[in-house]
Amino acid sequence: MTEPVISLRHVGKLFGDGQVRALHNVSFDVRPGEFLSLVGPSGCGKTTLLRIINGLITLEEGSVTVMGARPEPGPDLAMVFQSARLLPWRTISGNIEFALQLRGHDKAERRQRALALLGAVGLRDFADAFPHQLSGGMQQRVGLARALAVEPRVLLMDEPFAALDAMTREVLRKELLQMWARRRMAIVFVTHDIDEAVYLSQRVVLLRPRPGRIDEVVEVDLPEPRWERDPRPTPEFTALRNHLWDRIHAMAREGEALEELAGAFPMEAIEKPRR
Amino acid sequence: MIEQSAKPSPSPAENAPATVSVEELAARGRERRRRQNGFVLGAQVLIGIALLAGMYALNATSGKLIMPRPDDVLAQSIKLWSDGTMLKALGESLTVLVIGYAISIVSGILGGALLGGFHYLSRVLDPYVNALNSTPGAAFIPLIIVWFGLYTEAKVVLVWNAAFFPILINTAAGIANANRELLEMGRAFGARRRELFWSVMLPDALPSILSGLRIGAAISTVGTVIAELTMAQSGLGGLLAQAGNRFQMDKYFAVVIVLMALGTAITALLRYAERRIGRWRITS
C-alpha cells in the first residue's frame, strides 16, 4: 500500500477563543488518486476540514500532513469553491493564467496552457470574454479548469456543484469523473448531497455535527467508469445511499438537532417546560 | 449575454399572426429611442431658453446690478477671451488645480493603500484621520497663509488639503473591504501578500478609488477658487473677486460660465476614465 497523500490524525479545531468546538478527533487518510467525499449535515465542519488540508487555517489539536509535509497553499494543491470566484476584471483566460502565474510559469506558456485547459472544458471560444458574460455553469467550469491548470496532485472541492441547476450539475459531474479518470489526482469532495457523494466517490466519510466528528467511513464499491454505466439505478447504489440516510436519521433521533438548538439559544430556554 | 441570439420563432405556423421580423423589431426600438432622446433634448433646450428669458426679465425689472443681460455677458466673454485675460486666468487656476490635485492623488492613494493594507496602522491613525477629515478645510486657510504665504505654493497646499481626504478614505475603504472570497481564492492558490495586494486587493478597490478621485476633483475646483479669493487674487477666482467688487456683473457671469464648463469637463473626463477602467463590470 502506498503512502497516503493526505493524513489527518486526531484533528481538533476550536473557534471563537475556544468557545465553539468545530472539529473533534478527526482521523482519516486519502490515498493517491483516490476520490473521497466528505458528507454530513450543515455545521459538521466539512469546509473547515478542507481549509485545514489546504493550509488556509491552523489547527489546535492533532496533526495534518499533506504529501509528507505541513499543509501549505502551494503547487500540489488546488481548490474549487462553491461559487467560481473568478477575478471579474480578468478575462476567462486571464483567470487561469493568474493561477499559473502564481506557480511561476512564464508568460507565453501561461497563455498556451490556459487555452488548452479551456479547450478541455469546452470553453475555448470564451477565452477573451469576461466572467460576467458567462452563465453560472460555465463560470464553474472555468473554476475547475483553473484548478486543473496547475496540475495538482490533490484537488479540493467545496460543494462545487451546489449552486448550479440540476441539468448543469449532472453534466459537470460526468465531466469531473472523466477528468479524474484521465489524470488520477486525489480528490477531496465536500458535499451535502448523499447521492452525489455515492455516485462520484470511492469512499465516503460521513461526519456528524457539534462538534464535527467522523460517524462512519463507507467504501463505495461500485464499478467504474461510472459516467458510462450509471450506477444510480442499481440495488447496490440504493443500499449504500439508504444506509447513509439511516445513519443521518439516527443522528437526528439521538438529539443532535436539539444539541444544535442548544448552541443557538440559552440552555434554560430549551430545558424549561413551555408553560 | 453571449448565449442569447436572435432566433426566429420555432413554429411559425402556430403563432403566425404575431410573427414580427427581427429587422422590424430593431427598427421599432430605434424609433422609440430616437423619440425619447428627442423629447429629453427638447425639454433641455426649453429650460435653457426659459433661463435666458428669466435673466432678461430680471434685468428689465431690477436693473443690471441684480442681473446682467445675457448679450452683455456674451460681449464680455468675447472681450475677455480675445484680450487674453481669461486665458491667463484659466492658466493660473489650472496650474494650482492640477498641481494640488496631482499631489493629493499620489499621497491619497499611497496613504490609503497603507491604511487599507495594514490593519493596525489604520486602527492607530483612525482618530487622527477622522479629526482632520472632519475639520472644515477653510479653517486651515490662516495657518496655510502663515506657513506658506499667499502665492501658488499656499494655494496648492489648500487644494491638496481639500482633495487629499476623500481620496485617502475611499482608497483605504476599497482596499480594506476587498472581496474576502477572492482573497481566499488567491491564498488557496498560493498567492503571497504582495501578490494578493497587486492582483486582488488593488483591482477590486479600483471603483472605490475612482469615486474618491471624482469627489477629490470636484473639491479641488472649489479649493482652487477659494484659494484665489482668499489669498493673493489670481486666476479665475481673482477675476471673479475683481468683477464682483466693482459690480461688473456681466464680467462676473462670464467667469462663472468658464468655471461651470471647467467643472463639467473634469467630471466628464473622470466618468469616461471610470467607464474605461471598469469595463469588466456588469453593464446592461
pLDDT in tens, chain A (275 residues): 578 888 888 877 777 776 777 788 878 888 888 889 988 877 778 888 888 888 888 888 888 888 877 877 777 888 999 888 999 888 888 899 888 888 888 888 888 888 888 887 888 888 888 888 888 888 888 988 888 888 888 899 998 888 888 888 888 888 888 888 888 888 999 988 888 888 888 898 888 877 887 778 887 887 788 877 888 888 888 888 888 888 888 877 776 555 555 555 444 444 444 44
Phi, psi values for residue A79, rounded to 5°: -130, 140
Which residue range(s) make up the domain with B184? 70-277
Select the residue of B184, B195, B206 nearest A102 (Cβ to Cβ).
Answer: B195
Taking CB atoms and an 8 Å limit, are A88 and B184 in contact across chains? no
Select the residue of B186, B190, B204 nearest A103 (Cβ to Cβ).
Answer: B190
Based on the fold, state whether residues B91 and B228 are members of the same structural domain: yes
Residue A248 lies in a domain: yes
Select the residue of B3, B190, B206 nearest A75 (Cβ to Cβ).
Answer: B190
Size of interface A-B (CB pairs under 8 A): 59
What is the least distance, in Å, from the CA of A85 to any CA of chain B? 6
**Residues 191-230, chain B: which have Cβ within 8 Å of A?**
191, 195, 199-200, 203-204, 206
Residue A16 lies in a domain: yes
Residue A234 lies in a domain: yes
Select the residue of A73, A133, A134 nearest B187 (Cβ to Cβ).
Answer: A73
In tens, the pLDDT along B51-78 reads: 999 999 999 999 888 899 999 999 999 9
For residue B223, pLDDT beyond 70:
yes
Does the predicted TM-score (pTM) go above 0.80? no
Pairwise pLDDT comparison (B97 vs A258), residue with the higher score: B97
Residue B121 lies in a domain: yes
Residue type, A7: S
What is the least distance, in Å, from the CA of B202 to any CA of chain A? 11
Residue B284 lies in a domain: no
Based on the fold, state whether residues B159 and B43 are members of the same structural domain: no
| DSSP SS3 for B231 | coil
Residue A101 lies in a domain: no
Based on the fold, state whether residues B24 and B93 are members of the same structural domain: no
- Closest-CA residue of B relative to A52 is B188
Based on the fold, state whether residues B152 and B202 are members of the same structural domain: yes
Give the strands of the sheet with A203-208, arranged side by side. A77-80, A154-158, A186-191, A35-39, A203-208, A213-219
- Closest-CA residue of B relative to A53 is B188
DSSP A69: B
In tens, the pLDDT along A175-195 reads: 888 888 888 888 999 988 888
Based on the fold, state whether residues B142 and B241 are members of the same structural domain: yes
pLDDT of residue A268: 44
Select the residue of B2, B3, B182 nearest A85 (Cβ to Cβ).
Answer: B182
Q: State the average pLDDT over residues B19-36.
A: 87
What is the least distance, in Å, from the CA of B178 to any CA of chain A? 12
The Cα B220–Cα B240 span in angstroms is 17
Based on the fold, state whether residues B28 and B161 are members of the same structural domain: no
Based on the fold, state whether residues B76 and B142 are members of the same structural domain: yes
Pairwise pLDDT comparison (B276 vs B77), residue with the higher score: B77
What is the least distance, in Å, from the CA of B181 to any CA of chain A? 7
Based on the fold, state whether residues B112 and B196 are members of the same structural domain: yes
> B280 at the A interface (CB within 8 A)?
yes
Q: How confident is the model at residue B192 (pLDDT cuts 50, 70, 90)?
A: confident
Taking CB atoms and an 8 Å limit, are A150 and B1 in contact across chains? no
Residue B185 lies in a domain: yes
CB atoms within 10 A of CB A30: 21
The Cα B23–Cα B21 span in angstroms is 5
The Cα B96–Cα B150 span in angstroms is 12
Nearby residues of B179 by Cβ (< 8 Å), 6 or more positions away: B200, B204
Based on the fold, state whether residues B206 and B268 are members of the same structural domain: yes
Residue B264 lies in a domain: yes
Element (H, E) at A77: strand A77-80
In tens, the pLDDT along A224-255 reads: 888 778 888 888 888 888 888 888 888 777 76
Residue type, B223: G
Here the contacts of A263-268 (C-beta below 8 Å, separation 24 or greater) are: A263/A20, A263/A210
Select the residue of A74, A89, A129 nearest B203 (Cβ to Cβ).
Answer: A89
Based on the fold, state whether residues B147 and B58 are members of the same structural domain: no
Residue B115 lies in a domain: yes
Residue to substitute from B1, B181, B185, interface A, most A β-carbons within 10 A: B185
**Three-state SS sequence of A214-244:** EEEEEECCCCCCCCCCCCCCCHHHHHHHHHH
Query: Per the structure, how many domains does chain B have?
Result: 2
Residue B11 lies in a domain: no
For residue B1, pLDDT beyond 50:
no
| DSSP SS3 for B11 | coil
Phi, psi values for residue A103, rounded to 5°: -90, 5
For residue B283, pLDDT beyond 50:
no
**Residues 87-126, chain A: which have Cβ within 8 Å of B?**
87-90, 98-99, 102-103, 126
Phi, psi values for residue B26, rounded to 5°: -60, -40
The Cα A164–Cα B74 span in angstroms is 64
Residues B201-218, buried b or exposed e (16+ Cβ, 10 A)? bbbbbbbbbbbbbbbbbb
Specify whether the CB–CB gap between B112 and B177 falls below 8 A.
no
Specify whether the CB–CB gap between B183 and B196 falls below 8 A.
yes
**Residues 67-106, chain B: which have Cβ within 8 Å of A?**
none
- CATH number, domain of B180, equals 1.10.3720.10
The Cα A10–Cα A67 span in angstroms is 18
Residue to substitute from B2, B4, B189, B200, interface A, most A β-carbons within 10 A: B189
Which residue range(s) make up the domain with A17? 1-76+155-162+190-275
In tens, the pLDDT along B73-95 reads: 999 999 999 999 999 999 999 99
Specify whether the CB–CB gap between A53 and A71 falls below 8 A.
yes
Specify whether the CB–CB gap between A135 and B3 falls below 8 A.
yes
In tens, the pLDDT along B126-182 reads: 999 999 988 888 899 999 999 999 989 999 999 999 999 999 999 999 999 888 889
Q: How confident is the model at residue B252 (pLDDT cuts 50, 70, 90)?
A: very high
Specify whether the CB–CB gap between A73 and B188 falls below 8 A.
yes
Select the residue of A85, A130, A156 nearest B280 (Cβ to Cβ).
Answer: A130
- CATH number, domain of A12, equals 3.40.50.300
Based on the fold, state whether residues B87 and B209 are members of the same structural domain: yes
Q: State the average pLDDT over residues B33-45.
A: 93
CB atoms within 10 A of CB A212: 25
Residue B6 lies in a domain: no
Taking CB atoms and an 8 Å limit, are A126 and B2 in contact across chains? yes
- Which three cell numbers, joined as nine digits, stand for A188? 477531496
The Cα A8–Cα A198 span in angstroms is 22
Question: Which chain A residues contact residue B186 at CB under 8 A?
Answer: 102
The Cα A56–Cα A13 span in angstroms is 13
Question: Which chain B residues contact residue A135 at CB under 8 A?
Answer: 3
Specify whether the CB–CB gap between B162 and B227 falls below 8 A.
no
Query: Per the structure, how many domains does chain A have?
Result: 1
Mean pLDDT score of chain B: 88
Residue to substitute from A53, A89, A95, A135, interface B, most B β-carbons within 10 A: A89
Residue B5 lies in a domain: no
Select the residue of B3, B188, B203 nearest A79 (Cβ to Cβ).
Answer: B188
Residue A61 lies in a domain: yes
For residue B228, pLDDT beyond 90:
yes
Pairwise pLDDT comparison (A246 vs B44), residue with the higher score: B44
